[in-house]
Structure 1
């Protein structure tokens, strides 16, 4: 090998490795918060303190918790009930009718052991980071990801591919119209 060949390969290797390093750095910076999302969320948005009870304290019945959920909004009916995976918290969603709009629903959290009302969940920075890729894809595709088809487009489902083709076709039409003006 000549000196020029070695120098050329040295430059090719140097610049390709720098480009790859930039992508790896981006993966590390964006991936680490997702791996440690529970720890980061607990640090930035600490959970509300709960009453300290002896071990083995039984939980209240769900009927008792539902009665407490109905008290703040008389006439509302329970729509959903869910449970926290990490803490003894029961989430109850109530509304005037079964098909009420989400804006008119009432979301309540209760300590499953005592029935005490817990403060509402406030999404922290990690909720934003987890939602950011979806929002980025929506902007990238021209903001045309409908709520029903958006996740399908990102997953690559059949319906999503059709929607993606429709979005691409609309973008081509907008581009052609802009060029003709």
Structure 2
């Protein structure tokens, strides 16, 4: 008898390898699933309202709309818009100017306590793009949706929570991959989608678990892997600063912040002249996480829906507004940018969001049925052990 106690090892070597491989995948699937299931349930439940975050905000009616203007009216200068933000929050510093395609006629200012303060604690001010008048302020630190977002992305634990959820997401991806590897051998004697209703409940649960899991397996892989990329977004940006931004700045990297900043509008125009066919996505001010102490970074994006998620940074001198350097984002940042809308289904309008929500509900079923199967295995093992003792 071979060492593993299975006669197939001698008689059928290929079958023995399949048995060992199946056992390995079963162990991987079981434990990677168990480790992550509780946290994945939290992510699914919090992810559902976040899919419809924009629609929920619109229904709440809390944001003021900009005044209508005649077609062709030119927007106000960015310098006036930034000045309005400083007047609204005296003693604070604008760190970012950005545009949201879902809010036409509005420019958003992300304002921090200082030019270098933690951007996650910034206050977001909405400004009428044509009148340079303050519309209102988005409270990103309190409220139900911001709380759900922090719970979904960091478990309210900051960077440590993001890294932890990234590891849990990797376990989820491993569980899906191992489940797909197990599906074929486990169902080779059954028709696809067959549920054995005549068998005991635990077998029916197994068939349903396998069926739903294999049907949405590819989608779960996409959402799980993009979730892992998003979890490590902060570290990715830090590496980009070290790898690419420092190289773009060259000898100018260590310069101090100038006492007087150049015109924001002229800086944006210089970036626009360089990146023809693109439009600004956001402007990072000197001292913020996406720039240096002495430079603006204007992030241009494609004008079409297909290229609107792809950014090209244009680094400009903060004292003169001249363009210092520009280059395409590296592959790892591009992967991050593409993964963000894909994770929430935020690139195909409301119909795709509804599909994403339905698939999330099915994922909750897969996770819950997995727990049912595990608990059934524990109960069976306990009954066998107790029976052996008698």
1:48 and 2:64 correspond? yes
1:101-180 map, 5 Å: 107-122=124-139, 124-134=143-153, 137=155, 145=157, 147-156=158-167
Deviations 1:89-140 (A, max 9, x none): 22224456423467996653211111111111135533333333356x56xx
SS at match of 2:67: coil
- Select which of 109, 130, 133 maps to 1:92: 109
RMSD: 3.7
1:65 and 2:81 correspond? yes
Query: What TM-score, normalized by structure 1, do the two folds share?
Result: 0.50
Unaligned runs of 5+ in 1: 1-25, 139-144, 161-181
CA positional deviation for 1:61: 1.4
CA positional deviation for 1:59: 1.1
1:83 and 2:99 correspond? yes
Deviations 1:135-163 (A, max 9, x none): 6x56xxxxxx4x23221111128xx9xxx
Query: What TM-score, normalized by structure 2, do the two folds share?
Result: 0.26
Distance 2:129 2:92 in 1: 21
CA positional deviation for 1:62: 0.8
Unaligned runs of 5+ in 2: 1-40, 171-230, 232-390
Deviations 1:59-104 (A, max 9, x none): 1111121222233455654332222231122222445642346799
CA contact (8 A) 1:41 1:125 kept: no
SS at match of 2:138: coil
Closer/same/farther in 2, CA of residues 62 and 130 from structure 1, 3 Å limit: same
Distance 2:115 2:108 in 1: 17
**Structure with greater contact order relative to length (CA < 8 Å, sep ≥ 6):** 2
SS at match of 1:84: coil
